[in-house]
Structure 1
Amino acid sequence: MNPAQKVRRSPEGGYARGDETRQRIIEAAIQLFGEHGFEGASTREIAACAGVNAPALQYYFENKEGVYRACVEALADDAWRTFGPAIEHARAVVRENAATEVLIDAFIRIQEAMADGAFAKASKPGRRMFFAREQAGYEPESATQILACRIRQPLNEASAALVARICGLASDDPVTQIRTFSLHGQLVVFHLAHRSTLSVLGWKSMDAEKAEQLKSTVRDQTRILLEHWSRERDARHVKDAKGAKAASKPPRSRKQARGDDDGN
């Protein structure tokens, strides 16, 4: 081998380093976007936090909005790894017309995945604030579109389908939608109002034991409500069946009516 000739590194090594740098930029950007918002975080600050020079951001993402979009895509990928199995399971039990108890378990499984995702990230305030700012409508609309298409829509549709079957209503019925959002809201409030949660409960942090206490309480409340709504559904079906049976009886003639009166 000619000693003057440089030994080229394998493409795999180059790709790995590039991916690592890109991921480091994304993690730094999520933290700074969460702390300062899209307008408040500068590409120079993101580059410094990631330990790269400013041109590296342009090389990987073109501009600040490209960095932000990459952050949202990365968060969506992470969320789907958490929620995806529970959503697919929910779709399967709805297709199979499973028993009520199985439907309830499937809904609680979605909530468990939501809780695991939320409480696991409670120690990462940048991520929590990133989502809070996006939910408040302060950030680029592209973020909302990506998250809606990849995570929120599948999650909401699967959840509403379960609640609809349990309640005996249509998925797009306003009551179904309100019930679905209110059930999930039990967890969302602890995630977004993290500081208030710790203050009210007198906790310094959200460790695994405290997270399990929250999950257990919400799980019990959710099961009680879903079982109650399923009993309402069954009672409504019984009432409708009785009404249909009564309506199917032939009308009584005047002669039959007079005979009943004479017998009395």
Structure 2
Amino acid sequence: MSKRQSSPPASSDRGDATREKLLDAAIGVFGRYGFDGASTRMLAEAAGVNLQAIPYYFGNKEGLYIATADHIATIIGSHVGAQAARIRQRLAEAGNGAAIGRDEAQAFVTELMQTMASLFIGPVSEPLARFLIREQMEPTEAFEHIFGRVMKPMLEMVGTLVGILLREDGRSEHVRLRAFSLVGGLMVFRVAHAAVKRQLAWDAIGPEQVETVRRHAAALVAALAAEGERR
């Protein structure tokens, strides 16, 4: 009996694969060399695709750069999106009278911070961080895409929950500063990766170190909750 041959992939499937290859490669290339330093040839070679694929799928290098920012937002969302959606739904219920207690708020913030700790420290975030740091230093239109899709909703959600912990208005400047500090206290493990390893005498950052930072994240949230309890 002859083996049944599988049908060749549809052209749209091949197109989707080519587009994904370019986006995945562009994160690393743009992160290392910036928009000006990354040539279209470098981008195509890194992706292993024909040079004409860039104008075909993205119009030009700028189009690919913006699409890469959206791709990064999607990757981050894939890690925190389900949790964020569940918490957002609970906050919506609270707005209709089903108030969130401080214990529940603490559990939500801890869950979010521990997930973010795993993401920021894990290998998946390394190429993302280079791109994001460049956009933080010299923001372009790409920053607006990432901020609007990921950063702003997350910071607002964390701010609302921190406000509950501190018994303050989550929209106040003080609470927004505290939310920034909480998230920043975890991001430092990626943006200051070398200093963290040197200062903590970690040869590498593996599962054991990730778990240590996850416990640290829970401790940071617990400290906020204790501060609010004293008020």
Shared fold per TM-score greater than 0.5: yes
Equivalent position of 1:127 in the other structure: 128
- Residue 64 of structure 1 deviates from its aligned partner by 0.7
- Aligned partner of residue 179 in structure 2, secondary structure: helix
Equivalent position of 1:253 in the other structure: none
- Structure 1 spans left out of the alignment, 5+ residues: 1-8, 233-264
Equivalent position of 1:230 in the other structure: 229
Equivalent position of 2:66 in the other structure: 69
Equivalent position of 1:116 in the other structure: 118
Query: Does the 8 Å CA contact 1:34/1:125 hold for their aligned counterparts?
Result: no
What's the CA shift string for 1:87-108, capped at 9, x where partnerless? 2233344323122111100111
Quick one: distance in 2 between partners of 1:37 and 1:119? 22
Quick one: distance in 2 between partners of 1:182 and 1:125? 21
Point out the structure with max Rg over C-alpha: 1
Quick one: distance in 2 between partners of 1:160 and 1:86? 16
Quick one: distance in 2 between partners of 1:97 and 1:29? 44
* Residue 107 in structure 1 maps to residue 109 in structure 2: yes
Equivalent position of 2:3 in the other structure: none
Quick one: distance in 2 between partners of 1:64 and 1:16? 23
Query: Does the 8 Å CA contact 1:83/1:110 hold for their aligned counterparts?
Result: yes
Query: Does the 8 Å CA contact 1:30/1:130 hold for their aligned counterparts?
Result: yes
Task: Please point out which of 69, 83, 88 is paired with 1:91.
Answer: 88
Between the two proteins, what is the percent identity of the paired residues? 29
What's the CA shift string for 1:41-100, capped at 9, x where partnerless? 111111111112211111111111111111111111111121222222333443231221
- Residue 209 of structure 1 deviates from its aligned partner by 1.2
- Structure 1 residue ranges (4+ consecutive) displaced by more than 3 angstroms after TM superposition: none
- Aligned partner of residue 54 in structure 1, secondary structure: coil
Quick one: distance in 2 between partners of 1:134 and 1:108? 27
Equivalent position of 2:4 in the other structure: none
Quick one: distance in 2 between partners of 1:78 and 1:202? 30
Query: Does the 8 Å CA contact 1:31/1:126 hold for their aligned counterparts?
Result: yes
Q: TM-score, normalised by structure 2?
A: 0.88
The more displaced of 44-53 and 218-227 is 218-227
Quick one: distance in 1 between partners of 2:55 and 2:107? 47
Equivalent position of 2:142 in the other structure: 143
Quick one: distance in 1 between partners of 2:50 and 2:89? 48
Quick one: distance in 2 between partners of 1:155 and 1:170? 17
The more displaced of 92-101 and 143-152 is 92-101
- Structure 2 spans left out of the alignment, 5+ residues: 1-6
- Residue 24 of structure 1 deviates from its aligned partner by 0.8
* Residue 46 in structure 1 maps to residue 31 in structure 2: no
Matches within 5 A, 1:1-264: 13-94=10-91, 95=94, 96-121=98-123, 125-137=126-138, 139=139, 141-232=140-231
Number of residue pairs matched by the alignment: 220
